A and B are shown apart, each in its own frame.
Chain A
Amino acid sequence: MTTPHATPRATTEGTVYTVTGGDWDEVVESAVKSDDERIIVNMGPQHPSTHGVLRLILEIDGETVTEARCGIGYLHTGIEKNLEFRNWTQGTTFVTRMDYLTPFFNETAYCLGVEKLLGIEDQIPDRATVLRVLLMELNRISSHLVCIATGGMELGATTIMIYGFRDRELVLDLFELITGLRMNHAFVRPGGLAQDLPPGAVDQLREFVKTMKKNLPEYDKLATGNPIFKARMQDVGYLDLTGCMALGATGPVLRSAGLPHDLRKTDPYCGYENYEFDVPTADSCDSYGRFLIRLEEMRQSLRIVEQCIDRLAPGPVMVADKKIAWPAQLALGPDGLGNSLDHIKKIMGTSMEALIHHFKLVTEGFRVPAGQAYTAVESPKGELGVHVVSDGGTRPYRVHFRDPSFTNLQAMAAMCEGGQVADVIVAVASIDPVMGGVDR
């Protein structure tokens, strides 16, 4: 049978139908006629609910998924390879683009690794560390908001999608104010930060906390007790603690199985041991539990943001060692943020040594003693680990990112097999994979 919507084509694997927006009846009809009841559905890589370019290959029997597999790699951009051809500071510009919803986590994890190799962890100024925590927690809120928003949209709950993106916009406005960019910031640098807070940022941060405290309960009102929402989410995407440990799942997926494992508590970095916050868990092991955890984590992040604002003391945001610290100072000119004119005047007009120093550090970069280090941060998706290897040169020898989305996505088969086709979407959404991070 031939229709414009579903043209059959004989292959060695059986008849293949390419469905192009038509109705499925033709396909089902033909499938009924054939003896083989097994249908393999290829979902993606351009399906709107696959979070980027994820390809799902589902073997279905009626409405039941009997086997599910992922095809990834469509967004592989070779960032790890590219890093080996840039200096250590340029690296942040690349890593911020990996998981584009969590740029500050990528940057901080990478910079912590470089700083560990340099052995300057103790010299990072307090203000830089507090600001890193502040930015990471704001970023956690924006990442969870996208997860909840797109997750809701995939269920057909467009209101929650609009709410989520509305509030994420508030966070992105703050990012734009502080770093100049909404994403791809490259703001966290080895040794500290690129820039201090602009004037008025603290007031805006306080204003944001106030607004978010008002907005967050709306998600509860809209979704938490909503019977349709619960019916779609509860007992869907089930993965118990054994499954999580075996598959290396971390983040909300692991915490929804009841284990309060959070690197901010168990292996603190950036001074997280000095902040007061709770690690929410659920014992339902399902998508609904992960949704509740994300909501609660946003509240806890707000608590940390408040503590960060209170802790901000004046001081430098870059390490004092001039052999590492970026020499250029940024200043706001009539045409936007750029090199400070005073700095240009100094290096071009008065100090030859300063010019040489600037030139060497910017073109050549600093040397990092040979060795390897592993640093990990708790990203909104789970353990984001960075394995950095140096050969003593001005470029990374090897940088490997253990992206939580990549590892957690392996659990997709365990969550979906035996369930309904419609639940695949919910289960994948509850993992919150971002293909930029998965494929790197």
Chain B
Amino acid sequence: MSDQESGAGAVPAPRDEHGEVIGVRKGMFGADNGGDTSGYGGLIRTVTLPGATSRPYGGWFDEVADELEGALEEQGLLPGNAIEKTVVDRDELTFHIAREHLTTVARTLRDDPALRFELCTGVSGVHFPGDKGRELHAVYHLRSITHGRLIRLEVSAPDDDRHIPSLVAVYPTNDWHERETYDFFGLIFDGHPALTRIMMPDDWQGFPQRKDYPLGGIAIEYKGAQIPAPDQRRSYS
């Protein structure tokens, strides 16, 4: 943690000039500009995720990237079309994949002897309402037992077209994981054999893990004081 991020009251400087802006946070302590004398209401913080990395990625990352690009070219697919960008952050390699090429890329990663990512640890959804046109992200972690490696695939879909191809044909283990992500985020995995809700009741309305879905909860009285519901409490983020 660098100095500029450590103090909550300090004005945070942008972390990375080339990062990917996914949203802007305004104010702090729930203070808005109207009637706020603390000055915190005027705080503006840009949320930036680590941006694209240029080569060399370091370690075996380059080898995997080379192999993947080579294998995609062999199939007549331009790597630049399939891999939107590559991010190396915190010793982890992430390929952002264009959704229409996800199945091809996953199959290549699984079958190519030099890549051989035979184990998929499922899919995790992330909802970035501020990332316009790419609101819903599906994140896959692939593990190669043969080579002892772990990579991440990230696919995004806009909120008004929530479709991502299903990986169940490539990794059958994703069956329940995709149902879970559908259940919580409303992402529709095209080609899934039976995309139904898995955790929530079948007739549930809405997708609970989306950021626009409230947590809910009720205020509690404790020793005479009212403790608001968790989503109504003061937020510092």
Which residues of A approach B to under 8 Å, CB–CB? 72-73, 76, 78, 80-82, 84-86, 116-120, 245-250, 259, 261, 266-267, 321, 323-324, 360, 364-367, 369-374, 376, 383, 385, 387, 389, 391-395, 397-398, 400, 402, 406-407, 409-410, 439-440
**B198 located at the interface, meaning its Cβ lies under 8 Å from any Cβ of chain A in the complex:** yes
Among B199-237, those with CB < 8 Å from A are 199-201, 208-209, 215, 230-231, 233, 235-237
Q: Are A371 and B148 also in contact (CB < 8 A) when A247-B172, A406-B176 are? A: no
User: Are the CB atoms of B215 and A394 closer together than 8 Å?
Assistant: no
User: Are the CB atoms of A370 and B49 closer together than 8 Å?
Assistant: yes
Rounded to whole angstroms, the CA-CA distance of A319 and B233 in the bound complex is: 29
Rounded to whole angstroms, the CA-CA distance of A389 and B215 in the bound complex is: 18
User: Are the CB atoms of B209 and A81 closer together than 8 Å?
Assistant: yes
Which one of A76, A85, A376, A410 lies within 8 Å of B173 (CB-CB)? A410
Interface on chain B toward A: helix, strand, loop, or mixed SS? mixed
User: Are the CB atoms of B50 and A370 closer together than 8 Å?
Assistant: yes
Q: Are A369 and B1 also in contact (CB < 8 A) when A117-B90, A374-B141, A398-B126 are? A: yes
Which residues of B approach A to under 8 Å, CB–CB? 1, 5-6, 8, 12, 15, 19, 22-23, 25, 45, 47-50, 89-90, 92, 94, 118-122, 124-127, 139, 141, 143, 145, 148, 150, 152, 171-177, 180, 184, 197-201, 208-209, 215, 230-231, 233, 235-237
Rounded to whole angstroms, the CA-CA distance of A247 and B170 in the bound complex is: 11
Rounded to whole angstroms, the CA-CA distance of A82 and B229 in the bound complex is: 11
* 13 A-B pairs (CB sep. < 8 Å): A73-B199, A248-B120, A248-B122, A364-B236, A370-B15, A372-B94, A374-B92, A385-B141, A391-B47, A392-B45, A392-B237, A395-B236, A410-B176
**A residues near B1, Cβ cutoff 8 Å:** 118-120, 321, 323-324, 366-367, 369
User: Are the CB atoms of B172 and A246 closer together than 8 Å?
Assistant: yes
User: Are the CB atoms of B145 and A266 closer together than 8 Å?
Assistant: yes
Which one of A80, A248, A391 lies within 8 Å of B23 (CB-CB)? A391
Closest CB in chain A relative to B22 CB, distance in Å: 7
CB-based A-B contact count at 8 angstroms: 151
**A residues near B125, Cβ cutoff 8 Å:** 400
Q: Are A387 and B176 also in contact (CB < 8 A) when A85-B215, A267-B150, A371-B49 are? A: no
Rounded to whole angstroms, the CA-CA distance of A82 and B217 in the bound complex is: 10
Rounded to whole angstroms, the CA-CA distance of A248 and B25 in the bound complex is: 39
Rounded to whole angstroms, the CA-CA distance of A120 and B5 in the bound complex is: 14
User: Are the CB atoms of B209 and A402 closer together than 8 Å?
Assistant: no
Q: Are A245 and B124 also in contact (CB < 8 A) when A73-B199, A81-B209, A367-B6 are? A: no
Closest CB in chain B relative to A66 CB, distance in Å: 18
Closest to A90 in B: B230
Q: Are A76 and B200 also in contact (CB < 8 A) when A392-B12, A394-B237 are? A: yes
